[in-house]
Copies of this chain bind each other. A is one copy, B any other.
Amino acid sequence: MNKHNNSLQIVFLFYDGMTALDVVGPHEILCRLPRVSVKRVALSPGKISTDSGLMLYADYALSNITHADILFIPGAGNATTLRNYPEILNWVRSIHSKTTWTTSVCTGSLILGAAGILTGIKATTHWAALDRLRTWDAELIEERIVQSGKIITAAGVSAGIDMALTLAAKISGDNVAKALQLGIEYDPEPPFDVGSPKKADPMLLESLRKKMLASFESD
């Protein structure tokens, strides 16, 4: 499962403008798998700004990381701007070529798309960005978690928690994943039943879609 040492190398891509919860849900779960080594990597190590004002830290520069068993790509309102960073896209493509699992949450799949990884691949993204994903010739699947071979893409933001627990079960078995789910007391009680575009009020959906697309357009 790992060519370098006894631990599973999990690498989280960080970049300015990313959505903190996209990363932190999966990070909280995957870092607690047995025998893992977790690295947070960005163009340059140091402070990384997220789109909620919270600052995170990246430990490594892309150039320091040449291998990942699990690659994780978070989303952002500005995820599509990463198409202007060939250094990031080349790194994603190179790391992906040797991963066991390549994963994304939310508009992180647009970065996989821009890296040329999703051509003809079943994938998903945040509901408001589905048309954007089509740009990269992915086969859109409107589900919360979509697996296509070693590529797992998740829907918007909070879907990363479900994706990471599902991946934890694949890697370490159901009992480990169940312990992790109980450890974060993940027995959700959302106050409303509107978290998916299929359930939301059409007016709310359209107004939010316009707002989010405007944010994408301003990239």
Q: Answer yes or no: A53 CB below 8 A from chain B CBs.
A: yes
Q: Answer yes or no: A178 CB below 8 A from chain B CBs.
A: yes
CA A183 to CA B208, docked complex, whole Å: 8
**Cβ-closest chain B residue relative to A24:** B24
Q: Chain B's nearest CB lies how many Å from the CB of A135?
A: 20
Q: Answer yes or no: A87 CB below 8 A from chain B CBs.
A: no
Q: Contacting A181 at CB < 8 Å: which of B54, B175, B194?
A: B194
Q: Is the CB of A52 within 8 A of B31?
A: yes
Q: Is the CB of A161 within 8 A of B178?
A: no
Q: Is the CB of B32 within 8 A of A184?
A: no
**A113-151 toward B: CB 8 Å interface, digit per residue (1/0)?**
000000000000011000000000000000011000000
**A141-170 toward B: CB 8 Å interface, digit per residue (1/0)?**
000110000000001111101100110010
Q: Which residues of chain B come closer than 8 Å to A126, judged between CB atoms?
A: 185
Q: Is the CB of A157 within 8 A of B185?
A: yes
A interface residue count range (under 10 / 10 to 19 / 20 to 34 / 35 or more)? 35 or more
Q: Answer yes or no: A174 CB below 8 A from chain B CBs.
A: yes
Q: Is the CB of B175 within 8 A of A188?
A: no
Q: Chain B's nearest CB lies how many Å from the CB of A76?
A: 12
> Which A residues from 78 to 117 make CB contacts under 8 A with B?
106
**Cβ-closest chain B residue relative to A29:** B21
Q: Is the CB of B162 within 8 A of A189?
A: yes
CA A38 to CA B51, docked complex, whole Å: 13
Q: Is the CB of A188 within 8 A of B188?
A: yes
Q: Answer yes or no: A177 CB below 8 A from chain B CBs.
A: yes
Binding site for B on A (CB under 8 A): 19-21, 24-25, 27-28, 31-32, 38, 40, 47, 52-57, 106, 126-127, 144-145, 155-159, 161-162, 165-166, 169, 174-175, 177-179, 181-197, 199-201, 204-205, 207-208, 212
